[in-house]
Amino acid sequence: MIDVFWHPAVLDHDTGRGIFEGGPSDLLDVPELHPENAERVRNMVSVLQRGPLADRLRWHDGRLAGEEELAAVHDQAYVAMVREACEQGGRVFAPSTLVTGASWQPLLAAAGTAMAAGDAVISGGSRIAYAPVRPPGHHAAPATADGYCFFNHVALVAERARAADCERVAIIDWDVHHGNGTQACFYDRADVLTVSLHMRHGSWGPSHPQTGSAAEVGVGPGAGYNVNAELGLGCGIRAYEAAFTQVIRPILDQHRPDLIVGACGQDASGFDPNGRQNLLMAGFRRVGRLVAEAADDLCDGKLVLVQEGGYARTYAAYCLHATLEGVLGTGPLLADPIGYLPDDAGRGDGDIAALRTYLSSFWRLP
């Protein structure tokens, strides 16, 4: 059973239209929605409510976060700045990252609902919880908005777990992009292991100075506790599975987390406009199973999943359903409507070898 925490206010954050992330064009009759739009999460909620997993889900109301709760991870001045930007009618933080005058409550609903899911598992009321929230959060650093993200939801959940006497936490991020904000939150700490499986894309500017490479392992007490599984474009599920089984799972076994938090993105699909790592529903099902098996073996199944990317507005919802099928171990329940891309078994081998090289001085790897 998965406890799903939902707040409809997350749909009210309006990111507009244009040429995908770009501005509108007079040359086009029909502009694109911004990739991070309400429709993508609306579809995720509907496929869970109407699909074959429906009787394995319990729905709960989400909540709004308090500003003091956000300050557990984010600088108070930054929180106030985001609120003021919304109150003043909006602001563009980066070309793809913006708020409007109606965004403040959705941002609080996303953060608060993620924390509500986390609290349910931390308190023992739930074993597995999922929060379908938007905007996403894993690019948000303590004082920086980036990549559609303003508040780092998985970092907030991890920090609450630590405050509730969870000695060690692990965050596993399989969004197609590097979880740079989460890395920044915990880069010098050993109590929160941060793992990011992502497509190689490097730094994209001042808001994302991290490269996401395997060489970024953490500093000081956190050395070795930041794991970047940077994989080449189009690598497919076999590379993801190899990275998990050869590197990530052995590290998890040694870290022994009391809780696993999953940054649950579906933008690594072969049909996502922002990713194209060639994962299909079967691939996401396998990722979900690997993460759940780790939680079962290491922390009594305690797993919190928070929605991140997934910008193919229809297929991402199917991939989410497959992810949760994997988490629950049901096997395939929903057929893949469009999956036909090949999975190249040879891609990613060199990336995983490099990752093992960087981490072998910190962890025992088979």
Distance CA 97, CA 143 (A): 14
Among the listed residues 60, 74, 139, 177, the single catalytic one is: 139
**Bond into 136 cis (ω within 30):** no
Judge whether 139 counts as a catalytic residue: yes
Backbone angles phi, psi at 292, to 5 degrees: -65, -40
Give the burial class of 8: count Cβ atoms within 10 A of its Cβ; 0-12 exposed, 13-18 middle, 19 or more buried.
Answer: middle
Distance CA 366, CA 354 (A): 14
DSSP state of 183: H
DSSP secondary structure, 84-99, as one string = HHHHTTEEEEETTEEE
324 touches 2 (CB < 8 A): yes
121 touches 34 (CB < 8 A): no
Q: Give the CA dihedral 39, 44, 45, 47, nearest 10 degrees.
A: 120
Catalytic residue set: 139
